[in-house]
Structure 1
């Protein structure tokens, strides 16, 4: 309640008002009164599909580029078709790194997208620039968000922006993961935290700013890198479920054994796209269920440190 008073009302209406006019017109079929968040298996990258009870869809990141191909075309679009989703309310890019935006142009070019949501931080990264150009060419509105703004859906789902801060260097060159967009998706009494590549400085800043970090589900920052998921951050979030989006036997050693040890010490159930494929969490507003493409259970504590 306190944080809602601190929200910037004009900025909130920028997203909400435009969404009412242009985004919520054609909900996709979605049985049951549930929210689903699906972390797709895009290898060493991120692509997440948020689907609300009334069939509204928010995509968070679009996977990486693959030479002449990309994970947007190879994974995200086929998944949307398999779910009967023909329109996306919004595509949100947490930051300009290729493993998060490489598939964005394919999505923007091949399916109806209501708007493109990004931070105000400028970048000359090629695939990020291509995504912005594609949105402009297709007359897709581009919305810039910072901390304090809320994306609201008419079925009670909200996505609250916790990072980057309002004083982020607007329209300056993107240089580090501390400016990654972080979203807290809430439905009823349940919440999930989608952290992009937010790093330790971003975590410390969100804690210091009193952001509402508590969430039962945490998509680990930066693919489980040791540059994210500090003890202090995990204690602030207090998740029961952690999801790692990383490539099998990736060259970066993600998720890092130190992070896995922190999760093990807190008895947090861990799901990994490199082991279990796509991971879907489903909320009825009171609790979460987890489903994986490989139909495997959460990794036992003894297995969390193995690779």
Structure 2
């Protein structure tokens, strides 16, 4: 207990989670550790010296390691096996250690008083609650996510050459729009999952996929495969079934086998959370567009006077349809932020499209020194001519937008 209380801030700071049953598991692990180390060293030395009998000692080590692994597997199968609290700030760690030290000092003084005056045991028993309360307060301060209530945050993750957008709603809802990369291996395991855990997110309520390109979905496939030890997914949301390609069909099948609900979304449908709405603009039934980039799911994110347009990789006929829809239905709307389509490709974000959207800020998700040359200079020139301020993940890393009390801030 003492060791775990002491290292808890370090565990959360570096790994963002704490194994709930580690105390119980260590009752089995620690007693066998000395035996395993002794037999391992002795067996290795004996084997090197040419004594075949050493193999028996090494086999015992193998059995102990197998036992350890099975204990961990059983532990992970128990509900609430992990406490994902996120990465604490330095002031939270300092406050925790101050309260922990205060609790220990108080307990020590109380113990001295109990030894001096046995008749004070009843009073001391009541006073003993104080250090427990101090410890509880320290754990609360260490694990609580301060400043997130009532705030909308959007993070365009640095996933290299790909897309990954995390949204946390004002009531705590969690949403991931796309998640993939063409130049970072296992981007779901090594980029998306650690980020989510650092934010204290153990479950994504919704994962929305714009289209089936691998640089938008391979990280989500990682998350589905690792859901038991990583991040759970509530519902996978895909575009209208008419535009599904082989990749989207495979992802939907994979999610279904994993017990994840799969839904399709079309124009007029969306998700509402307090004053935040995440709505689908296209594709719609009857749209004469091909599966893939043209048929990318386009979403609008709104909260109060804040509006953000999320375009996936839409281009060609899909962008022409989008421009027409925005001009016809959304002409009174002002778009504060545009997530630029197709990583800033010159084949998208046309002059006519920008004339209809007129974004104040544009965010481009692209990999550093990517082989496609994204973002293309013609796209950047069109944005700059409009006076749009540009942020790119290849230059800035992850870009976070916060909206609270009617004020938008970009980090």
The TM-score normalised by the length of structure 1 is: 0.78
Aligned-residue offset at 1:122: 2.3
CA contact (8 A) 1:43 1:246 kept: yes
CA contact (8 A) 2:211 2:297 kept: yes
Residue in structure 2 matched with residue 19 of structure 1 by the alignment: none
Query: Secondary structure in 2 aligned to 1:152?
Result: strand
Q: Distance in 1 between matches of 2:208 and 2:150?
A: 24
CA contact (8 A) 2:149 2:172 kept: no
Aligned-residue offset at 1:33: 2.0
Q: Distance in 2 between matches of 1:205 and 1:261?
A: 23
User: Is 2:150 aligned against 1:46?
Assistant: no
Residue in structure 1 matched with residue 148 of structure 2 by the alignment: 31
1:1-307 to 2 correspondences below 5 Å: 29=145, 31-64=148-181, 69-109=185-225, 110=227, 111-119=231-239, 120=241, 121-125=243-247, 128-153=248-273, 155-168=274-287, 175-209=291-325, 210-212=328-330, 214-284=334-404, 286-291=406-411
Q: Distance in 1 between matches of 2:287 and 2:258?
A: 28
Q: Which has the larger radius of gyration?
A: 2
Q: Distance in 2 between matches of 1:235 and 1:162?
A: 18
Please report the RMSD computed on the Cα atoms of aligned residues, expressed in angstroms.
Answer: 2.0
Query: Secondary structure in 1 aligned to 2:162?
Result: coil
Going from structure 1 to structure 2, the CA distance change for 1:112 and 1:176 (only over 3 Å counts) comes to closer
Greater relative CO (CA pairs within 8 A, separation 6+): 1
Q: Distance in 2 between matches of 1:107 and 1:192?
A: 26
Q: Which moved more, 1:42-51 or 1:197-206?
A: 197-206
The TM-score normalised by the length of structure 2 is: 0.59
CA contact (8 A) 1:163 1:206 kept: yes
Query: Secondary structure in 2 aligned to 1:46?
Result: strand
Q: Which moved more, 1:211-220 or 1:108-117?
A: 211-220
Going from structure 1 to structure 2, the CA distance change for 1:73 and 1:211 (only over 3 Å counts) comes to farther
Going from structure 1 to structure 2, the CA distance change for 1:129 and 1:203 (only over 3 Å counts) comes to closer
Query: Secondary structure in 2 aligned to 1:95?
Result: coil
Aligned-residue offset at 1:211: 4.0
Residue in structure 1 matched with residue 96 of structure 2 by the alignment: none
Aligned-residue offset at 1:130: 4.4
CA contact (8 A) 1:72 1:103 kept: yes
By percentage of residues, which structure has more helix? 2
Unaligned runs of 5+ in 2: 1-85, 87-144
CA contact (8 A) 1:187 1:285 kept: no
